[in-house]
Amino acid sequence: MKVLVTGGAGFIGSHVVDLYLERGYEVVVIDNLSTGRESNLNPRATFYKLDIRSQELAEVFERERPDFVNHHAAQMDVRYSVEHPIFDADVNILGSLNLLECVRQYDVQRFVYISSGGAVYGEPIYLPCDEEHPVAPISPYGASKYSVEQYLYMYFVNYGLEYVVLRYPNVYGPRQNPHGEAGVVAIFTSQMLADQQAIINGDGEQERDFVYVKDCAEANLLAMNTGVTHGVYNLGSSKGTTINELFLTLKKLTGYQNEAVHGPAKVGETRRIYLNAEKVYTELGWSPITVLEAGLEKTVAYYQEAVE
C-alpha cells in the first residue's frame, strides 16, 4: 500500500514517514522545503519538491496513485498567521483544497489530516478540552485549520472520502527546528545549550499540553488502519504544563545557569489549553507513552549531539 505524506521533510511529518516505512508502506513525500529539511528525508521515500498549491500536484497523483494521503504540510506559525492572514489561508485552506481535489479525482481511500487542538478551541470554557468543546479560534491559523475539517466532512458526505482528523497538542522532540515556527521546547533547548538568554513570553503561567513526537507518529499509523469512516480526535496528555515549569525542567537537563527573563505576551496565543484524549484511546487505541521529562531528556540529547 502506498501513502503520500505532505510535509514529510518537516519535524513531525518526517517521523511519520519513518514509521510508515518501518511498517511496510511505500511512501511518497511532497514538501516545498520552506520549513522542512532535506536532512529529515528518509532515503527510502520517493521525494517531490513541490508546493501543495501547485497545479503540478495532479501530475504526482497521476504518476504515483497513492492509496492514502497524510496531510502535514501547512503554514503553522500562529504569530505569522496573525500578521499575514491571507497567506495563512492561501496555504492552509486553498492548498488543502488543491490536495483534496486530487484525492477525489484519483480515488484515494483515506485521508489523515493534521489539525490543531491548541488553536481551534480558542480560550477554553473548560479543561481539558474534549472534541465536543465549542470551536472558537482566536488566530487565523486556528480558523484555517478548522475550515479544512469542515471541507473534509463535505468530501465524506458528497464523495465518500474516509478521513481522520488528528488535533495535535504542542508536539516536541528531535528534528524540531529551533528557528522559524518552532515550538518552545526547541527554542529553549537550543538557547540553553548555546548559553544564550532564554526569554519567556508573558508571565510564563500559560499552560500547554506537550506530547512527544514519536507518540504522535503512532497516532498517524493507527489513523490509517482504523475502521472508522470519519472522525475527529484530540491527541494529548489531558494535563497542562506551564512554560515556567518547562523552563525549570530544561534548565536542569541542560545545566543552564541563567535565570528566566520575561518578555511581552504574544497576540493570538491561547492562555491555557490541554486536551482530553479519551476518544482517541477508546476508538483508535492511542495514548501517549512518553512522560514529559523522559521526552525532554531525549530531545536535549538530540540537540547536544547536533551541536557537537
DSSP 94-129: IHHHHHHHHHHHTT-SEEEEEEETTTSS-S-SSSSB
Element (H, E) at 26: strand 26-31
To 10 degrees, what angle do helices 95-105 and 140-159 make? 20
pLDDT score, position 269: 74
Distances (CA, A) of 297 to 13, 172, 188: 21, 11, 13
Distances (CA, A) of 107 to 65, 83, 217, 282: 8, 37, 25, 29
Tens digits of residue pLDDT in 163-178: 999 999 999 999 998 8
Candidates 113, 141, 146, 172; catalytic one: 141
pLDDT < 70 stretches in the chain: 180-182, 268, 307-308
The answer to whether 182 and 173 have CB atoms below 8 angstroms apart is no
Query: What pTM was estimated for this model as a whole?
Result: 0.95
pLDDT score, position 254: 97
Reading the block at residue 22, the C-alpha cell is: 518501518
Is 141 assigned a catalytic role? Answer: yes
The answer to whether 153 and 112 have CB atoms below 8 angstroms apart is no
CATH of domain 184-207+239-276+290-307: 3.90.25.10
Q: Which homologous superfamily does the CATH classification assign to the domain defined by 2-170+212-237+278-284?
A: NAD(P)-binding Rossmann-like Domain (3.40.50.720)
pLDDT score, position 89: 98
Q: Give the span between the Cα atoms of 134 and 129, in whole angstroms.
A: 9
Where are the domains positioned within the chain? 2-170+212-237+278-284, 184-207+239-276+290-307
Query: Average per-residue pLDDT in the chain?
Result: 95
pLDDT score, position 303: 94
As to burial, measured by CB atoms within 10 angstroms (0-12 exposed, 13-18 middle, 19+ buried), residue 81 is buried
pLDDT score, position 307: 67
